[in-house]
Structure 1
Amino acid sequence: MQAGDNKSYDDINVTPMVDLYLVLLLIFIIMTTAGVQGVKVNLPKAGAPSKMEGPKMQAITVDNSGNIKLNAEPTTLADLEAKLGAVKAKTPEAPIVIRGDTATPYQTIMDVLDTVGRVGFSNIGLATKPKK
């Protein structure tokens, strides 16, 4: 033993411990993001749902030739306002979904939106498909 080697060994080298923590953190992040994407499961069956009271959604469909349908029933733009008025009287907060074909003239969709707005519905949605 030399005279200069009398220092104590109270210092702990934490570098390997920090490396271990970083590796564990990386594994945790990878496993968490992998689990978020979803796992396919076989869902259990349930009985028939009880009748829920609430506003019934109204679907307005406009095809590529400009034909308008309210809940699969053909109608005209003038009749649409009267039919929506009757729906508004029964269920004022009924949601309206407008579905249009990609080849539908934009003006027809705007006419339908204008009619729905005149009747007084505020819960309006436009149906779309996600891009692939």
Structure 2
Amino acid sequence: MQVQNDAQPYDTINITPMLDLAYVLLVIFILMTTAGVQGLTMNLPKPSNKPSTEKHDVKVVQVQQGGGVTINGAGVSMAELESQLNAAKASDPKFNVMIKGDAKAPYAGVVSVIDLVNKLEIENVGLVTGRIGS
């Protein structure tokens, strides 16, 4: 009785399980990186077709290049800014705040002003994208 040995060595490797694992790791990586992204919550005003006849005070808060803050052109600290915005809100609850950041200003300064405005629950807030008065 003779046994035939038809077993030949494999000349290819099955990479399908390795590709499945790579795709699963890729999906997990994508999900984990997008879950870590955080943002700011702001209540932006809704556009209206009716022109407003109401006139409210406007406070322009600008974050300077060195991190300093001005309100309507006068330099203030964050504590003074908070007290001035509180006083303006007490006199006119619907006053407007426009936040402008210098192109070279630290982003953290702009975020801290936005956080302050949110903390004071000021409703009419705008972010200035162009130049004011220049």
1:1-132 alignment, distance < 5 Å: 54-129=55-130
Deviation readout 1:56-114 (Å, 9 max, x if unpaired): 11100111111101111110111111110000000111111011111111110000111
- Structure 2 partner of 1:34: none
What is the CA–CA distance in structure 2 between the aligned matches of 1:80 and 1:102, rounded to whole Å?
21
Question: Which one-letter code corresponds to 1:82 in the other structure?
Answer: S
Paired residue secondary structure (2:56): coil
| Aligned residue pair count | 79
Question: Which one-letter code corresponds to 1:86 in the other structure?
Answer: A
TM-score (norm 2): 0.55
For structure 1, list consecutive stretches of 5 or more residues without a partner in the other structure: 1-51
What is the CA–CA distance in structure 1 between the aligned matches of 2:97 and 2:60, rounded to whole Å?
6
What is the CA–CA distance in structure 2 between the aligned matches of 1:81 and 1:72, rounded to whole Å?
16
Identity across the alignment (%): 30
Query: Alpha carbon RMSD of aligned pairs, Å?
Result: 1.7
Structure 1 runs of 4+ aligned residues shifted over 2 Å read: none
Paired residue secondary structure (2:70): strand
TM-score (norm 1): 0.56
Question: Which one-letter code corresponds to 1:94 in the other structure?
Answer: F
